[in-house]
Amino acid sequence: MRVEDREKQWRLLMLSANGGDAAAYRNLLLELTPALRAFARRGVARAGAALADAEDIVQETLLAVHLKRQTWDEEAPLSPWLFAIARHKLIDALRRRGRRIELSIDDFAESLPSAEAGSDSIVSDVKRHLEGLPPGQRKVVSCIAVEGVSIDEAASRLSMTNGAVRVALHRGLAALAAKFRSVES
Amino acid sequence: MKTSELINAISEDREMPLAPGRALCLALLPGLAIAIALFSARLGLRPHFMSLLADPRFSLKLLVCYLLAALAGLFVLRLFRPGGSWRGAVLLLALPPALLGVGVIVELFVVSPADWERTMIGHNAMFCLKSIPLLGVAPLIAILVALRNGAPERPAVAGAGAGLFAGAIGAALYASHCPDDSPLFVAVWYPIAIAFLTALGAVLGARLLRW
């Protein structure tokens, strides 16, 4: 798929997602992930960091894309916004790991994602941060994440109200993103 | 946790954060209210405010301050969004100082050189230096709070933008009180006061606006 088509498709999905279409949003995240993964891997390789770190950076970037999605201007193209976030998170992560590099978005924005195997391996950061969340948030986030259930389903499984699950999920994700940030080494 | 599992969790979260414009307005309301209350309690409008609007020096002073506040506000709105270009907004920010510069040149022709220094020092320069930052503190906090909702690529720049906006708000309020209208006075003292808030904003932003 050409870069322009990709952009058009992402934009449409994001617009539907902002209009409340949850399936479109899920699709978008699944579509973005390989591109973000290619971006993170190239950045990590350039900085001479361990390739295993790339997936942590992808997850951190996905969280940031989600929690900051209101900052995308619907009139503007999606890719520059997306890769600005990816670049910010990549540099931040590398800096925390004690490396300083300069990256230009132009190096990456045109690169098409490569579908690679082994990309979904279990990684450490999110798992560790998840364990540091308050029990309520942790239960809700892991139930929905690992079992892949909906909010309603999670509410009945955990015998919580729908609203409580919704709030715990949002707070849990925000807390996860904050935990990534607070790791200073 | 696998990335696909994280996506499960993310896509179930329907909580949409406030849009940048709304976040900024909502935060600014209490910030501005505090600044205006402080202004009314400690400073107050100049006597004969309405009739003074006909005075070119007074109206230029107000125009420069309000224009700076408006353009700095636009600049701050840009800073919420990653990947957007904010360089155009920075160029626009040169407009109010340029306007003031024209005022200074005209003033230098109109006022005799013997009076330049007296006009520049004015009546209460120290009060100006204190009042503008004081009036700008609550708006600065409000703008920083709003910007935490955004995703500024450079937290220190975003903080500086917040400080500039807050300084311009403080200056716009103070300008309606201060009896010194000469562009010579405004061009010397207002920028020092605004620069102080800008620097404070940059320092705070570097710490508070990371995301």
**Both A77 and A139 in a single domain?**
no
Output b/e per residue, A119-135; b: 16+ Cβ within 10 A: beeebebbeebbeebee
B195 CB contacts (<8 Å, ≥6 apart)?
B167
Whether residues A105 and A129 fall in one domain: no
Q: Which of A81, A109, A137 is at the close of a domain?
A: A109
On whether both A9 and A64 belong to a single domain, the answer is: yes
Report which of residues B1 and B78 the model is more confident about: B78
Flag whether pLDDT at A120 surpasses 50. Answer: no
Q: Does one domain contain both A130 and A100?
A: no
Whose structure tokens read 């040149």?
B105
pLDDT per position as a tens digit, B103-132: 999 999 998 888 898 888 888 889 999 999
DSSP letter, residue B195: H
* CA B116-B188-B38 angle, 5° bins: 125
Q: Is the same domain home to A57 and A96?
A: yes
Q: In this model, does residue A123 exceed pLDDT 60?
A: no
**Chain A residues in contact with B148 (beta carbon < 8 A):** none
User: Same domain for A129 and A162?
Assistant: yes
Residue A89 pLDDT > 70: yes
Among A27-36, B40-49, B67-76, where is mean pLDDT lowest? B40-49
Domains of chain B by residue range:
19-43+56-208
The two structure tokens encoding residue B22? 């709304």
Is there a single domain that holds both residue A70 and residue A99?
Answer: yes
A33: in domain: yes
Q: Which residues of A touch B88 (CB under 8 A)?
A: none
The answer as to whether A42 is a domain residue is: yes
* B3 vs A59, A67, A73: nearest CB: A59
Cα–Cα nearest to B14, from A32, A21, A78, A10: A21
Domain contains A119? no
Q: How would residue B152 be classed by pLDDT, with cut points 50, 70 and 90? A: very high
* Nearest chain A residue to B154, by CA: A88
Classify residue A166: in a domain, yes or no. yes
Encoded tokens for B161? 């933008």
Residue B66 has pLDDT above 50, yes or no: yes
Q: Residue A117: what pLDDT?
A: 41
pLDDT bin (cut points 50, 70, 90) of residue B87 is: confident
Q: Which residues of A touch B150 (CB under 8 A)?
A: 68, 71
For chain A, the domain total comes to 2
Among residues 64-103 of chain A, which lie with CB inside 8 Å of chain B? 64, 66-73, 76, 80-85, 88
- Would you call A145 and B84 a contact, using CB atoms and an 8 Å cutoff? no
Q: Give the CATH number of the domain where residue A131 resides.
A: 1.10.10.10
Please give the pLDDT value at position B51.
84
Q: Is B182 exposed, middle or buried (0-12, 13-18, 19+ CB in 10 A)?
A: buried
Label residue A185 by pLDDT band (50, 70, 90): very low
Across all residues in chain A, what is the average pLDDT?
84
* pLDDT number for residue A116: 47
Q: What is the CATH number of the domain that holds A57?
A: 1.10.1740.10
C-alpha Rg value of chain B to the nearest Å: 20
Which DSSP category does A71 fall into? G
Cβ contact B5–A148 (<8 Å): yes
Q: Give residue A171's domain range.
A: 125-182
pLDDT band of B194, cuts 50, 70, 90? very high
Cα nearest neighbour of B13 on chain A: A170
- Phi–psi pair at B14, nearest 5 degrees: -95, 0
